[in-house]
Copies of this chain bind each other. A is one copy, B any other.
Amino acid sequence: MSADPLILAQDRFIAVWGQMSGAWGISRTMAEVHALLYITGEAMCTDDIMERLEISRGNASMSLRSLLDWGIVERAHKRGDRKEYFSAEQDVWALFRAIVRERIAREVDPLLASLHEIRDMTPTDRARRGEAIPEMLRDSAEAHNKRLDNMLEFFQVLERLGNRFVSPAGRGLQMAATLLSKMDPGGPRP
């Protein structure tokens, strides 16, 4: 059997990364496939992956497709070989920029849209000027709207931050480095 420490370390990495799958909002197998491609640094074909991870062809195919959709794995080809090969982004910062980009698109944007819709469901002074609303109802509606606005504001800031992190290639690292070096533990300096 394989007592090769490199293989063992790879397997352990794959297992650990698989456990993090929940944190990225992807399935365990997707994470394991990604881990395998990342940690070996090699381009592999479907059969290589099936064999190493002991998963079915269908599962491998679907996981690879999803990883391609997320933009963190890309197709590769070997000359004289009809098979498709796949390789993972090796730049860790680029990897996480891709993850943040997808999660903003899949989670934050739809949430903001929903929150705006909900915001439009309750009447306010602004919305209906002259119309009479029982005072008690108006008060609780205003408190409700304030709570919604606080949420909205938070996610708008989050989205702007995320887009800043994601946008031009390579900025994520600089942003983090700047943050950590320019701010002392007590907070930002003037």
Contacts and interface: CB of A to CB of B under 8 A. Distances in A.
Closest 7 CB pairs of A and B: A9-B121, A178-B188, A16-B114, A92-B150, A92-B154, A12-B118, A157-B176
A180 B161 contact: yes
Q: How many copies does the complex hold?
A: 2
Interface string A32-76: 000000110100000000000000000000000000000000000
Given A9-B144, A144-B6, A179-B164, A111 B16 contact: yes
Interface residues of A, number: 60
A83 interface: no
Contacts of A140: 6
B143 A107 contact: no
Contacts of A111: 16, 20
A5 interface: yes
A77 interface: no
Interface class of chain A by DSSP: helix
Given A25-B23, A144-B6, A178 B174 contact: no
A187 B175 contact: yes
Interface in A127-169: 137, 140-141, 143-144, 147-148, 150-151, 153-154, 157, 160-161, 164, 167-168
B25 A22 contact: yes
A8 B179 CA distance: 42
Contacts of A154: 92-93, 96
A179 B179 CA distance: 8
